Each structure stands twice: as structure tokens, then as C-alpha cells.
Amino acid sequence: MDFYNHLINFFPKEIVERIINQEGEHHRGLLINPNKINEKEILNSNLPLLKHPNVEHGYICQSNEKLYTNNYLYELGCYYVQDPAAMLVASILPIDNKDIILDMCAAPGGKTIQLAFRNNNGLIISNDASYDRAKILAYNIAKLGIDNAIVTNDNYLTKENIDELKSAFSSVVIDAPCSGSSMFYKDEKMMADWTYKKVLKCAKIQEKLLERGYFLLQNGGFLVYSTCSFSYEENEAIIISFLKKHHMKLIDLSYIKNSYSHPSLKEAIYLYPFLYDGDGQFICLMQKLDSTIDNTILMKKTISLIDKLSLEKILTSVKLSKRHNFEYKGYYCSLPFYINLKPFNVLRPGLVLGWLKSEFVPSYHLARYLDSTNSLALDDENYAKYIKGEEIHLTMPLEKGYYLLSYKNLNVAFCHYDGQKIKNLYPKSERQ
């Protein structure tokens, strides 16, 4: 069975033909970092943008993606570029601003970043089962200066201590791995390699992820399920089967303009490229309604974490002393409030401040979190050199120690002066 005949079994011919012909726009989306920059500054930066119809701080790019990613505002964490359809997934989740949210399949991080902005007094457990993808996720969190996300590398299909986390999360986001039919336009080989067997294989994984999500969700909590597949078996069929086994309330998303809902599941939506700008997305939102007692394990303190630091002066200077500050595997870290990290395989335990050698070594993450007050301003030449990893020379007299560098009032990273030269501490993976 080819892709066309697969789709025609469930969807109107007009829709199937428009999918096959890859009609529609595939612009990128831009999510502004409100902690870094005012939206007016972005709009006055000569980047062609249209306001996203459904996403706060969201815009739709009107030119080639490189125009936005080759900009210093992007490099300095003022915005994140992602698919405008995928941006809607995190936008529709109800949040009370103090939630503990699990983003189960989070890399490269767009949904986590958006959730972190919306849930700024809460926490995001941002997870990916792939170690390499989780590392990318951790870097993106640091780049944008996110202070309320914990990056983990757990496989929730095989996680051994998952029973400890039963009913522990306010909300769960599952952007499930799928057959990826909305991505066919990027590579003709993807459609040629498509098989119905792959769809069914993905559906089995998705079914298990949904079961895990339900297990982890508090009573009254919300579960968002999404894919970038157009296959009924990975979307409506999965949800209909899931609802038969669990007491969940569907939240109607059909109010989203230019969306399509299949008659079998009218509350869920497709964002087709020929109706809604972007690559394409299926989204379903549900609320858990049963007698589950919320789990408090995430709030139970363990002796492995150290609350008292010998860094009070530093914490006070960066206005972090009223948060939960702790040591984790040699790193000094900060979160809005205490959370038990023991049940997780942690890669980035919140805002990483730095570590102690003979003196305190501040991190790249801390540089991106802070404002540019008391930083050393780089001119165009030194900024260009610094992000390439080259040595820079500053005219002002310096004492030995670490200094925060900024460009146009936006932090770049720290540097270290040893009395003779300035050591470049810009992340090697990002040097241009």
C-alpha cells in the first residue's frame, strides 16, 4: 500500500491530494525570548515577520531561515526558530504558572522553551531518550538562559524507577516519535521510504508513551499528544483506543482557525500546510479525571542535595539567593523551588551557575541568564572574534579573574584574564 492509498482510506480525496502535492507554505516560526529582549526591538530589527495567530511571543518568518539564524540576536538567545505549527502544541496547554510539567520527548527544545516562558514560576522536566539529542536540548536551554528547566535523559518506555513518579506531574507533553509524513517535502526520499509497516511500528510506541503519560499525570492534569504524521493510525486511532481505557476528558481544539478535524475525533486537530502555515501537525489535548492521589515524591527532600552554599555573596549579586540553590555532582545550580532529582537521569539540573576550582568558575548558562549590568561591552570586531573562539584584546585595565562579556547590551559569555591574556570561554561547539 502506497502513501496515497493509505490516506484515502480515512480522509477526503481533496485533502489527500493536497497533502500528496505538498501544497501550502513551510515558513519557519520565531519565538521571542521575553526575558532577553522587548518584542518591539525584534520588530524594529528589519527581520520580516508576521504575528503568529495563536502563540504569545510567536511570529512567522517571511524569508529564508538563514536570515534569522545568521543574526546576532539569534546567536545571543533573543529568539528561537522552529516550525510555526509545532509552536501551537505548547501554546494550548493550560498552565497555572507553578506547575511541574514533563516534556517527555523534548529535543531539540522548542516546546520546552515555550513552556518555560509560560510557566516561569514553575518547573519543566525536559526529557529526551536519545543522549545526543538531550545534549542538544541542554545546550539550547543554556543558550536562551532558561532558569526553570531540568534536562533529563530517560527512556520512559523502559525506565526502571517509573513507579516512584506515578501521578507526579501537573501536565505531560508527548510530542511522539512518528512516521513523519509532514516532513516529506524536505526530502523526496522520505516519501519513497515510507511504509505502512513503519506507521504501525510507530503506533505501538506511541500507544506505550500515552500509557506512560497517563500513569505519570496527576488527577485533573492535562496531557498533550502531538505528532508530525498525517496517518490516522498514529493519531485518531491511538487516541480513541486510549480513551476507551481511561477516564479522560477531551478538550475541544476545533476553535483554532484553519485547522481540520476528522469526524471520528472532532476535538483534535490537524494543521495542514495548505490551511495553516508550517510543516503540519496533529494535536490532541486531554484532561485526566479519575480518583488518583497526587504523588508528592518530587517535593520530598533527600540528603543527597545540599541547600547551604559558600557562595552567598555571588548568589546575592545575581539575585538568586531566594531561590533553591544547591550543589549537584560538583556543579552549583539554582531552581525556582526544591525538587527531588533522584528519580531522574539528569543532564542539566536547572540553571547551572558554575563550579569551584581554586575560585568560582561561572558558567555559560549563568552568562546567558544574567542581564548585561557590569559586563564588558565588546565592539563589532571583538564580538566577531570572540564567537569564532579567537583571542580578543580589550583596552581597559583588568585584574585577574572572570569577566562577563556583552554585545549591544546582550550577554555573550564569560572570559578569564590571567594577567597576560584573555582566555576565550565561548562554547567550542558554537564557534563560527
Known active-site residue 415: no
The 3 state secondary structure assigned to the chain is: CCHHHHHHCCCCHHHHHHHHCCCCCCCCEEEECCCCCCHHHHHCCCCCEEECCCCCCEEEECCCHHHHHCCHHHHCCCEEEECCCCHHHHHCCCCCCCCEEEECCCCCCHHHHHHHHHCCCCEEEEECCCHHHHHHHHHHHHHCCCCCEEEECCCCCCCCCHHHHCCCEEEEEEECCCCCHHHHHHCHHHHHCCCHHHHHHHHHHHHHHHHHHHHHEEEEEEEEEEECCCCHHHCHHHHHHHHHHCCEEEECCCCCCCCECCHHHCCCEEECCCCCCCCCEEEEEEEECCCCCCCCHHHCCCCCCECCCCCHHHHHHCCCCCCEEEEECCEEEEECCCCCCCCCCEEEECEEEEEECCCEEECHHHHHHCCCCCCEECCHHHHHHHCCCCCCCCCCCCCCEEEEEEECCEEEEEEEECCCCEEECCCHHHCC
Catalytic residue among 61, 78, 178, 228: 228
Catalytically active residues are 228
